[in-house]
Chains A and B, each alone.
Chain A
Amino acid sequence: MTNIMTIKNLTVRFDALEALSSLDMEVASGSIVGLIGPNGAGKTTVFNVLSGFIRPHEGSISFHGKEIARLKPYKITSLGMSRTFQNIRLFGELSVIENVMIGFHLSYNSMFLGPLLSLFGYKKIEKEIYERAIMLLDRTGLLNLIDEKASVLPYGLQRKLEIVRAIATRPKLLLLDEPAAGMNPNEKEDLMKFITKLRDKLALTILLIEHDMHVVMKICDRITVLDYGEKIAEGSPQDIKNNQRVIEAYLGEAGVAES
């Protein structure tokens, strides 16, 4: 299997804090890779660097054979990487379908002079975007909600809509930051099915940050464990379950929580 992404020596500092210390990581095409670790381990920071929101101090990220570390976020998205946010970031005042239609923006708005050139063709383009959004919402079971304002959706559906919106940019690699957070067990089951279905149907590669061990162990092919910005373990779910350092890191967190 080839790697869709190779991360080398990635280092990020926030003033004195080293949030990531020379992280190396490989993501195989078509796999679901879990990124786990106690709170504050640096998982979200990894996503922020990959998606271009934070510039790393050192290191390289090769995505599809292209160096993307330090590119602008919109550029990285256009290369085929899309993400969701730990604290959901929908376009709250806009409707569900508008949220998804914005995701399709990349497929159409490549030229700056577009508004002038497409003055005549724009109705046709609009119709096409609308129809594609409808199709996507239909396949993901959100069709009955198209005219709802995104901010009034229940939490679980907001998480789902954020994933669907990310899909609309037609990514090859999808980054999901704690998609199961705040969901009840039923919703979590649905989410797991949804994520695996996405991977299979769209030939996606998925990088997943998740706290729920049940979810992680069940759907991930490989898992990377971070603690204090360092990679402490890597392997199959089975390896990770029995890894002594991982158990200690999590026990440490539980210990802090109790005290």
Chain B
Amino acid sequence: MNKEKLTNNAATILSLIAIFGFLVWANSYASPYVIQILNITAIYIILSTSYNLVNGVTGQFSLGPNAFMAIGAYTSALLTLTPLEKEITYIIEPIVSPLGEISLPFLPSLLIAGVTASIVAFLIAFPVFRVRGDYLAIVTLGFGEIVRVFATNAVSITNGSLGLKGIKQYTNLWWSWGWAVVTVFCLIGLVESSYGRAMKAIREDETAAQAMGINTFRYKMLAFIISAFFQGIGGGLLAHLLTTIDPKLFSFFLTFNLLIMVVAGGLGSMTGSVIGAVIFAWGFEILRWFEEPHKIGDISIPAIPGMRMVIFSLLLILIMLFFRRGITGRWEFSWDSLFNVLGRKIKLPKTS
């Protein structure tokens, strides 16, 4: 290992320790409100980076992450709820046989949620990737609706439109940020490997990618499956943070928000997706101010519900006007670039 690599690894470890320290502090001193937003931030990071793998890195315009989140949320919640809780919750129709009796700890439930979402992604990859471009968007959009309709109508499995209540609030800063870190590391590792390069090749020119010997269907499917895994995990974390879920929660609006994060951050850049998620989670809270009544001097402004969505959309338009390719473009954060900016004078030979 050379010196540059050592410095970079040290920098990574130091920043992880810094994040850890911050979380320890927040855990004991921050208000429940701030802790809630920190949890949401981490979940958004998981969701936006994994969405970026399909939309940004591989260039496949999917609109289905809300479906995979729903699958993950329901799967994990059904697994952590105890048989008794399920019996009480399912008042319209009793829950189907094996599901009613199972009860698992949080971690295996989350993992099963991720794997279930991946399996569904694998199955729908066959019809989904037969089509390209706009059609792909429409097919995945339709899939999201199918999952929602299923969640509403398969009452003996999902408890229908009543949803699931009384889910234990297992998600805390350690779970949410732990998964966020794992997700980001896995995805960056993937994107920087030859697998990630094959995905980028598909985005750049699918015909040329095939001519390079890339089985494009397989790589699109791989991106889709890995992305679905983390979206399933994200959905599971969200369910165990909010403690209640119902089909309405997983509407297209969720996908739309993710799209904003990924596009505003910089389609194709994981750094951009992280920044997009952080800005979205906090920006949305800060803009809450505009929905409250105010008194400036003699003028009193009434509360305007929905105002922050208007402002958010305006900001998005501004970002897209001035940074056509999002905040980061395709740029990725690296310690080298940071050190260079900070004025590292000695230029070491580039190694990979």
Contact = CB atoms under 8 A, between A and B. Distances in A.
Interface of A: 51-53, 72-74, 77-78, 82-83, 85, 89-94, 98, 101-106, 108-109, 112, 114-115, 118-119, 122, 125-127, 129-130, 165-166, 169
Contacts of B132: none
B301 to A, nearest CB: 46
B194 interface: yes
B196 to A, nearest CB: 9
Given A93-B330, A115-B222, A122-B189, A74 B214 contact: yes
A117 B207 CA distance: 28
B42 interface: no
Nearest to A122: B193
A103 B212 CA distance: 6
A211 B193 CA distance: 40
A51 B222 contact: no
Contact of A106 (B189, B195, B197, B213): B213
B218 to A, nearest CB: 6
24 contacts: A51-B211, A53-B207, A53-B210, A74-B213, A77-B212, A89-B207, A89-B211, A91-B200, A92-B205, A94-B200, A101-B194, A101-B197, A102-B194, A102-B197, A102-B209, A102-B212, A105-B197, A105-B198, A105-B212, A106-B212, A109-B194, A109-B198, A115-B222, A125-B194
Contacts of B193: 115, 118, 122, 125-126
Interface string B225-255: 0100000000000000000000000000000
Looking at A83, A93, A166, which has the most chain B CB atoms within 10 Å of its CB? Answer: A93
Q: Which 7 A-B pairs have the closest CB atoms?
A: A77-B213, A91-B204, A89-B208, A73-B210, A106-B213, A130-B352, A74-B215
B134 interface: no
Contacts of B200: 91, 93-94, 98, 102
A83 B211 CA distance: 7
A161 to B, nearest CB: 12
Contacts of B226: 115
Q: Which of B194, B209, B213 has the most CB of A within 10 A?
A: B213
A108 B195 CA distance: 10
Most chain A C-beta atoms within 10 Å of own C-beta, residue among B192, B194, B207, B222:
B194
Nearest to B201: A102
A242 B315 CA distance: 70
Question: Interface size class for chain B?
Answer: 20 to 34
Contact of A90 (B208, B216, B218, B222): B208
Contacts of A166: 211
Nearest to B329: A93
A112 B330 contact: no
Contacts, number: 98
Contact of B205 (A91, A114, A118): A91
A82 B352 CA distance: 27
B138 interface: no
A127 B226 CA distance: 24
B319 to A, nearest CB: 20
Nearest to A130: B352
B307 interface: no
Given A74-B210, A83-B211, A101-B197, A119 B216 contact: no
Contacts of A91: 200-201, 204-205, 208-209
B137 interface: no
B205 A89 contact: yes
B352 A127 contact: yes
A94 B208 CA distance: 13
A126 B208 contact: no
A226 B215 CA distance: 32
Contacts of B194: 101-102, 104-105, 108-109, 125-126, 129
Given A101-B197, A105-B194, A169-B212, A93 B218 contact: no
B294 to A, nearest CB: 46
B190 interface: yes
Contacts of B213: 74, 77-78, 105-106, 169
Nearest to A151: B204
Contacts of A78: 213
A170 to B, nearest CB: 10
A166 B193 CA distance: 20
Contacts of A125: 193-194
Contacts of B212: 74, 77, 102-103, 105-106, 165, 169
A74 B198 CA distance: 12
Contacts of A122: 189, 193
B222 A105 contact: no
A85 B208 contact: yes
A155 to B, nearest CB: 17
Given A102-B197, A115-B190, A93 B222 contact: no
A114 B195 contact: yes
Contacts of A102: 194, 197-198, 200-201, 209, 212, 214
Contacts of A115: 190, 193, 195, 222, 226
A53 B208 CA distance: 11
Nearest to A170: B213
A81 to B, nearest CB: 10
A103 B197 CA distance: 10
A77 B194 CA distance: 17
